Structures are given as structure tokens and as C-alpha cells.
Chains A and B, each alone.
Chain A
Amino acid sequence: MLVTGNEAVAEGAFAAGCNFYVGYPITPSTEIMHYMAEKLPRVGGVFFQAEDELAAINVAIGASWGGARVMTATSGPGFSLMQEGIGYAVMTETPLVIVNVMRVGPATGQATKPAQGDIMQARWGRHGDQVVPILAPESPQEAFELTVKAFAIAEELRVPVIVLSDEFIAHMREVIEIPDYRTIKIPGRRRPKSLSEPPFGSKDPRIAPPMPPLGEGYYVLVTGSTHNEWGYRDTRSFETHYKLSKRLWDKVWLNTDKIFEYEARHVDDAEVGFVAFGSIARSVKMAVKILREKGIKAGFVRLKTLWPLDLKPIRNLCSVCKAVIVPELSLGQLVLDVERANEGNAKVISYGKVGGGEPIYPKELVEIALEALKS
């Protein structure tokens, strides 16, 4: 199937059993919406065009509590507007998938041009302590796969999951392979076994509490305020808040091994390394190939998961390399993680470039690598 990255996201959503899409038009995520608008009603699913992104994210939350498997997609400015709602989804443990097709910002920026500057917003855009899984595809194939995975994590851990794509991937057309839907396993919602199983409490922080369906006499209380395991507001006590926020935090962090994925090549003997994600990782792979052909020991780590982050692969790369280059379509966000992982052995070089749809070319990276090895 020859599709764009945006269409691959939509295909991934279908494969994962998504039956509810809500969104607001915005470039460059629009094709996801178009695709869902065409296909969802035909299979009896719900497609809803919201009046703005504030509505979109909140309709998604309501639909998820209504039992639907929900996705919304947006870009920069819309993603900013959704932040409060994402925080609410974290607090209420609402499964949903949010796709952010990154474009140049801040503000309206360059709507049609790619960027990778939303890492920090995706991680920390909400007020308060919270953690949401962030998956970053490098191709339409991976856009499909990671969208499926996003649904699986969302349903299993009762969290909002962010798929962080960018305009390059969104509009790049490649052949993707779609597996037999029967082989795709998305965990179903776990209902409380009885009325005595709390919907917002879990003894094992790695396991999400069961999610009661509406309309069946559970009389569930959902609130974005601090609540106890039964959903009753407690906006005063330290214990209730600490217990809740720590559990929500641990629920994702203690499952890092399930969520975190990366790709690494030629790391063991590398003298110069690269750390990248998304579309720019494609240039990195080519640059490493060129450098290896020149006899230069280059390697790379590509992050498929941006949050929660396991620093080990980056730390390994830094421990063997003289220099580690971090190319990204921003003025430097991923580089902060590399600096954090580096234990002093490698020189960390940030290579940020953003605007006008300019990619980072492999030859630029080759030059930087050669320069770094000279000094």
C-alpha cells in the first residue's frame, strides 16, 4: 500500500480498532482527518469535527469514557491548545491517542514546514507532575506501527499517548505493509470485577486500575481534581495527592521497558556518533553509511520512544565516542537528553536547523563528523 505518513497513521488507527475520531482542521495534520472523515462513517464509527482543539481533546476524553477507542490529530498551535485536556486525561486515566504532526513554531510559524521542536511541549506541556508516552516514527511504515502501539499502551495503562510525527513524514509517500488485523492485539478495557474494585487505585503501580463502563450502575465519579481511589475529590490532603500523582507517575515510568524502543547501529566501535529521531534519523543513517564507506567509525542511536526515556543506549554511545552529534529540526531539544546521558567522555555537538522546509542533509552531517574528529 503506497501511502503518506498521515494516511499511515489513519491506517494504524483502523488496524488498532479506532472507532471514534475527533479533530479540528490544521496543517499539516489535515489528511489524517480527511481519511478518517471518509472511512469511519462507512464502518459505523463516529467522526466528529469539533469547533476548536479545546473541544476536540475534550470530546475525545468523553468518548473514551463512553467506551470508544479514540484518536485526535493536530499540529503545533492545536497541540498547544490541547495541553490542558491532555493533563485532564492523565489525571482521570483516560486512554486516548493524540497525534501531533510537528510544524515550524512558535505561534503560527510556518504552517506547511517541518520541525521537531515540540519534544519538550509533548513531555512537559501540562502544569503539574505528569508523564505521557511519546512515540516518534521515522517513516510511514513506522507511523502505522507506532500508532497501533500507541493504542495498545493507551488502553493497557489508561493514559493519553502522543504520536509525534513531523511534516516530512506526514507528506512522504512510501509503501507500507499492513499485517493481518487478526495479528494485532490491543488489550481490551479491564472492567472492575465487582463494585468493590476501585476505578482509581491499584496496589501494583505498574498496573492501571480497571475502567468502569458508564451506564451500568458503577456510578463512577470522574474528576480532574485530586481524588481518592473511588474518585471522591480530596483537594486538601498531602497523602491523597502524593499517592495519586506518584502512582500516575510510576504507572508510566515503571513500564519504561514495555514502552521504550530504539534502534542502534555500529555503536560498539564508534568514534563518532549521532543521536536522532523522526525524519532526521533518515539523514543520519545515510551519513553513517557514507562515513563507514570512508573508513570512519560512525554509529547512531535512533529513538522511537521519546518519553519515558531510557538513557542507557545514549549513554553507551557517549561512552565509546569522541564526539556525539545531535541533529534536529529545532534549535536544540533532544541534545539536552544527550548532554544528560553523557558521562563526560564524548563531546556533544548540537546541530539544530529549522525553517523553510530545509532538511538536514547527510553531507552536512558527514562534514560535521569529520570536523569533530579532527579537533
Chain B
Amino acid sequence: MKIAKHFSRKYLREEVLPTNFCPGCFNGILINALSKAFIELGIDDLRNYVFVSGIGCSSWIPSPYIKADSLHTLHGRAIPVAIGVKLARPDLEVIVIGGDGDLASIGLGHLIHAARRNIDLLVILVNNYVYGMTRGQMSPTTPMGLVTATTPYGSFEYPIDTCKVIASTNANYVARWTIAHFIDLKNSIKDALSRYGRGFRFIEVVAPCITYVARRLGKRAGEVIKELLKLGMRVKDPNDLDKYSREGRIGIGILKAEDKPGYVELYREYVKRAVSHERT
């Protein structure tokens, strides 16, 4: 009997499987969503894609698992490295995958500035609510009240809503889905690589850390998925996000979808201006 090969495996490095992720980790679902998006876009191999990641569990998704050129960079610095790659090689599609600690804490400045410049990158922020790799400390997206390694009596800090922040910049595309909204997530990735294939594209994926969030709350992966389906409230206007987060719900949906020229095109125009300036 021949066992069908899993659809994701054509995009993965076979020699490093199985992954190092904890049992039940939702990172695998994101890998599948990416793979499905690639399949539906008719992408055979990822030679024209460069993945850049920083430090954290989700940064391990591309490095080493995804079979593409990939740069596994310093903590928080995936976006600057990705910018360097994109500006040197505008012909390549550059995708950043990182966690809330990586992109929304130590690397938040870079995230906002890249969005402000509408620079041509797809950034996927995997929000697991904690620092998973260092054993579950509070992160900037940790919900109020959540017990973490550094808030053993429940977090009392206001979390950041990265989608709201990024939607307020000139970024072209902003969406949030939970890992339970697989088809929406896959469609967003597809859109961000095709219909909205330029400028800054930001997708937040809510994927609570199975080990340091779910297990601490006594929940199994299946229960978390069911809960996320209930908590996710479809939102179109980023201004409505607060309302739901106050209720402990999660605003999901495509919050912004524009197709303005990205940094690469703007820079090309600038170069034209610079060249003609010399002649006058």
C-alpha cells in the first residue's frame, strides 16, 4: 500500500523532519496554510522566495524546515535583514516569519518603520502570547491576567494590538486570523502573494503557545482550537478591534487591503529623478 505524501512536504526539507516543535504546537498549522497557499498559487518550488526569521519558536518554521533560501537572523532583526535582501534583489519575494517577542517587542521599531515605508515584504507574525523558546515569559501581546513565568500572579500590563498599529501606517495589507481559521488564513497568504503582491503586507496569526499558555490553563490543542473559533469576531474596521479585545475576544479579518506602490517602486522613481537631476 502506498501512503500519500503530505501536501506540505514538497516545500519542506525532508532531512530535518520531524520538527522540533512541542507536541500539539500550532506552528505546523501555519506551515500547512503556507503550503496550501503555495499549491493553490501553482508554485512548484520556492527558489524565488527568501524567508527571513529572527529568534523564537516561530522563527524555526522557515529555518530549517522550509525548503527555500532562508536567513535565520538575530533576535528582533529579521525585518532589517529582509529589507536588505529585498532592496538588493527586488526580483525575489521576501517573507518574514516571527513571533510576538521577536517582531512586537525587541523588533517593534523595525516592524513599524517597515510598515511606514510600505516596503515590499510579507510579514507573518505568529502571536503565541508568550516567549515560548525561553520558557513562557510575558510578551507584549500577553493578555491581561494571564499567568506566565514572569507574571506568576497574572499579567497586569496592557498588551499591544499589532494589527491596529500596523493598520495605522501606510502598509498595504493587514489581516488577523487565528490558527483555527485555516481557510481564511490560507486565503490571506495567497492574496498577500498575488492580488496584493506589493508593498508591506502583515498577517497576524493567533496561535497560543501549547506548552506555556494552553497547558498552564489545563487545555488541550483541540479545546484551544474550538475556543479560538468562538473567540474570533469578524471585523472590517481596525477601530473596532478594541471593543472585542476589551471583551476578551479576538478581532479577526482583513483589516486593510490596498495596492499602493511599495518602497521598491517608489525608490525606482526616485532613482529616475536622481539620474535626470544630474543632467540638468
Contact residues of A with B, CB < 8 Å? 20, 22, 41-42, 44, 46, 48, 50-52, 54-68, 70, 84-85, 88, 92, 214-225, 231-233
A58 touches B16 (CB 8 A): no
Bound: A48/B46 CA distance, A:
27
23 contacts between A and B (CB under 8 A): A20-B87, A22-B84, A44-B271, A44-B275, A48-B83, A54-B109, A56-B80, A59-B87, A62-B52, A62-B81, A62-B82, A62-B84, A63-B85, A66-B87, A66-B88, A68-B84, A85-B77, A92-B71, A214-B89, A216-B47, A219-B70, A221-B72, A222-B71
Closest to A214 in B: B69
User: Closest CB of chain B to A268's CB: distance in Å?
Assistant: 49
Binding stretch for chain A, among B60-68, B182-190, B234-242: B60-68
B74 touches A65 (CB 8 A): no
Closest to B70 in A: A221
Contacts between chains A and B (CB distance < 8 A), count: 141
Residue in A65, A215, A231 whose CB lies within 8 Å of B84: A65
Bound: A41/B275 CA distance, A:
7
Closest to A224 in B: B74
Q: Does B45 sit at the interface, judged by CB under 8 A?
A: yes
Residues of B within 8 A of A223 (CB): 63, 71-72
Closest to A218 in B: B69
A42 touches B274 (CB 8 A): yes
Residues of B within 8 A of A54 (CB): 76-77, 80, 109-110
B77 touches A67 (CB 8 A): no
User: Closest CB of chain A to B116's CB: distance in Å?
Assistant: 9
Residues of A within 8 A of B271 (CB): 41-42, 44
Closest to B263 in A: A48
Residue in B46, B77, B88, B275 whose CB lies within 8 Å of A58: B77
Residue among B72, B86, B270 with most chain A CB within 10 A: B72
A51-B72 CB under 8 A given contacts A20-B87, A62-B85, A217-B47: no
Q: Does B73 sit at the interface, judged by CB under 8 A?
A: yes
Bound: A205/B87 CA distance, A:
32
B72 touches A225 (CB 8 A): yes
Contact residues of B with A, CB < 8 Å? 13, 16, 45-48, 50, 52, 63-64, 67-74, 76-77, 79-89, 91-92, 109-110, 113, 267, 270-271, 274-275, 277-278
Residues of A within 8 A of B91 (CB): 215
B89 touches A67 (CB 8 A): yes
A46-B72 CB under 8 A given contacts A51-B109, A58-B77: no
B70 touches A222 (CB 8 A): yes
Residues of A within 8 A of B52 (CB): 62
Bound: A94/B84 CA distance, A:
13
B274 touches A41 (CB 8 A): yes
Bound: A22/B79 CA distance, A:
14
A48-B74 CB under 8 A given contacts A41-B274, A59-B81, A233-B64: no
Residues of A within 8 A of B109 (CB): 51-52, 54-55
Residue in A50, A67, A224 whose CB lies within 8 Å of B73: A224
Residue in A57, A63, A215 whose CB lies within 8 Å of B50: A215
A51-B113 CB under 8 A given contacts A214-B50, A222-B72: yes
User: Closest CB of chain B to A98's CB: distance in Å?
Assistant: 14
Bound: A323/B80 CA distance, A:
50
Bound: A92/B69 CA distance, A:
14
Bound: A84/B75 CA distance, A:
10
Bound: A221/B88 CA distance, A:
18
Residue in B50, B87, B278 whose CB lies within 8 Å of A42: B278
Residue in A22, A51, A92, A231 whose CB lies within 8 Å of B110: A51
User: Closest CB of chain A to B141's CB: distance in Å?
Assistant: 21
Residues of B within 8 A of A219 (CB): 13, 46-47, 67-70
Give the top 4 A-B pairs by smallest Cβ distance, nearest first.
A62-B84, A66-B88, A58-B80, A63-B84
Residues of A within 8 A of B87 (CB): 20, 46, 48, 59, 63, 66, 68
A66-B267 CB under 8 A given contacts A58-B84, A61-B84: no
Bound: A147/B110 CA distance, A:
29
Residues of B within 8 A of A92 (CB): 71
Residues of A within 8 A of B73 (CB): 58, 61, 88, 222, 224
Closest to B77 in A: A58
Closest to A66 in B: B88
Bound: A67/B85 CA distance, A:
8
Residues of B within 8 A of A41 (CB): 270-271, 274-275
Residues of B within 8 A of A88 (CB): 73-74, 77
User: Closest CB of chain B to A249's CB: distance in Å?
Assistant: 21
B74 touches A62 (CB 8 A): no
Bound: A62/B13 CA distance, A:
23
B64 touches A42 (CB 8 A): no
A67 touches B110 (CB 8 A): no
Residues of B within 8 A of A62 (CB): 52, 71, 80-86, 88
Bound: A222/B277 CA distance, A:
39
Bound: A233/B79 CA distance, A:
21
Residue among A46, A62, A66, A215 with most chain B CB within 10 A: A62
A66-B89 CB under 8 A given contacts A50-B80, A52-B109, A217-B45: yes
